[in-house]
Amino acid sequence: MPKDQDLGNNYYPSGWQPKYEFEESVGVGEITHVGTDKNYKDNFDKILQQWGFDPELYEIDGVVKASSWNTQLKGGVVETFYAFKGIVRKKDPLKDEYVAELFKEISKKPKLKVKKRGGDTAFMFMLADWQLGKSDLGVDATVKRLELGLTSAVQRIKDLRKSGVKIKSVYLVGMGDLTENCHGFYDSQPHNIELSLKEQYHLARKLIMRCVDTFLPLVDDIVLAGVPGNHGEMSRSGKGNVTTSRLDNSDTMHLEICGEIMAQNPRYKKVKVDVATDFHQVLDIYGQKVAFTHGHMTGGGGDPTNKILNWWKGQMFGFLPPGESNILISAHYHHFRSLQQGDRTWFQCPAIDKSLDFTARTGLWAHPGVLTLTISKDGWDNLSIL
């Protein structure tokens, strides 16, 4: 690139001023680079060094937009310039000190005695809209509310077994929005946060493992599954805007990290991790097709019920996997709802968080809680909000 003193007027077209923005807490940023090398894609390491990034630790993950133009430099020389906008990310941003701490903690947990119980029924415990870090209910109260749900679920399984329900499995399904994030979702969000993003992430993983360890001695196998939510969007730059993809998401990231950690300890050999690679997930649970979606990827349709049901109808119309399910579980709207039509049933999870802003605008509120139910070859049963 020519020296500054060689540059003429109007050197950079609108929107192509060289710059970079980087969010250290999530290890992702955006770069606008201008140079004279038309083969710049072969020299990303060199470009990273020019911007102060170590190529051993960072990478340019694709080109979002590219441009080229001719500019007359001082002295009349015409130069061709090549520019691109790209995503800069840490090659391994997930292995922070908190992950190392959790790995150390989990690796020390002892093996469990094998006790086969058998059975033909799954107990569903939904991890929905924790929004850790948000101050409406408060972090401490949110964690206590989850602990109450876990304690109640253990007793619920024992009671159901006494009544003849043969529970073999527990499904822990992350329904999205496990953390609040820190900005980009509503105007007052930065003033409504009690934890940094790293602290939110750390707490989310600790609580996921708390859920796993709670049910581990009680059943033959555990499935840890889940879908992404809107508050999990890691490269959010504003409301409705992301610099990478909405699937670049911390909600599924936490489940994957917990899976990687559990894979190092035989204690967790009965745990299967099955994380969605799309916005929605369909699982076959004892012969029942069960669809899970956070609920933020719906179109118009008025109130939350119509939005979700119209989305489900669209999935049926398009012959898409969620449309083949006979049970749909969603979240996002924080209030428990349920609707049955023939052999299909929709459940909407309550949150364990409050939303004071929503209540102020609408007058509506709901008790925090955890959606639980059982699923067997005969369908769903034993619905309870814990």
pLDDT tens, 165-206?
Answer: 999 999 999 999 899 875 444 444 444 677 778 888 888 999
Region 252-270 average pLDDT: 93
Given this model, what pLDDT does residue 189 score? 43
Measured distance CA(44)–CA(55) in Å, rounded: 8
Asked whether residue 77 falls in the same domain as residue 120, the answer is no
Domain count, the chain: 2
DSSP secondary structure letter of residue 363: S
Asked whether residue 59 falls in the same domain as residue 104, the answer is no
Measured distance CA(352)–CA(369) in Å, rounded: 5
Half-sphere exposure of 46 (CA within 13 A, CB side): 7
Return the higher-pLDDT residue of 257 and 355.
Answer: 257
Asked whether residue 65 falls in the same domain as residue 137, the answer is no
Asked whether residue 75 falls in the same domain as residue 101, the answer is no
Measured distance CA(277)–CA(356) in Å, rounded: 32
Q: What is the pLDDT of residues 278-321, one digit of tens each?
A: 999 999 999 999 999 999 888 776 788 899 999 999 999 999 99
Asked whether residue 140 falls in the same domain as residue 53, the answer is no
Asked whether residue 13 falls in the same domain as residue 105, the answer is no
Asked whether residue 121 falls in the same domain as residue 212, the answer is yes
Is the pLDDT score of 363 beyond 60? Answer: yes
Asked whether residue 119 falls in the same domain as residue 77, the answer is no
Coil vs helix vs strand at 134: strand
Burial class (CB in 10 A: 0-12, 13-18, 19+), 51: middle
Q: Of 90, 107, 139, which residue sits at a domain end?
A: 90
CB neighbours of 354 closer than 8 A, spacing ≥ 6? Answer: 136, 137, 365, 368
**Statement: the pTM of the whole predicted model exceeds 0.85:** no
Q: What is the pLDDT of residues 132-171, one digit of tens each?
A: 887 767 788 888 999 999 999 999 999 999 999 999 999 9
Q: Of 90, 114, 134, which residue sits at a domain end?
A: 90
* Backbone angles phi and psi of 89, in degrees to 5: -140, 155
Asked whether residue 103 falls in the same domain as residue 79, the answer is no
> How many residues does the structure list for the chain?
386
Is the pLDDT score of 6 beyond 60? Answer: no
Return the higher-pLDDT residue of 63 and 202.
Answer: 202
Asked whether residue 256 falls in the same domain as residue 363, the answer is yes
- Given a contact cutoff of 8 angstroms between Cβ atoms, the answer to whether 177 and 331 are in contact is yes
Region 242-257 average pLDDT: 84
Region 60-65 average pLDDT: 72
CATH number at residue 155: 3.60.21.10
CB neighbours of 34 closer than 8 A, spacing ≥ 6? Answer: 1, 12, 16, 18, 81, 82, 83
Measured distance CA(99)–CA(87) in Å, rounded: 24
Which amino acid is it at 240? Answer: G
pLDDT band at 272 (very low <50, low <70, confident <90, very high): very high
CB neighbours of 348 closer than 8 A, spacing ≥ 6? Answer: 295, 304, 308, 329, 330, 331, 333, 335, 336, 337, 338
Q: What is the pLDDT of residues 314-340, one digit of tens each?
A: 999 999 999 999 999 999 988 899 999
In this structure, of 99-108, 114-123, 274-283, 310-319, the range with the lowest mean pLDDT score is 99-108
Q: Of 90, 114, 137, which residue sits at a domain end?
A: 90
Asked whether residue 47 falls in the same domain as residue 144, the answer is no
237's enclosing H/E stretch is strand 236-238
Asked whether residue 106 falls in the same domain as residue 63, the answer is no
Task: Give the structural domain span for 125.
Answer: 97-385
Half-sphere exposure of 340 (CA within 13 A, CB side): 5
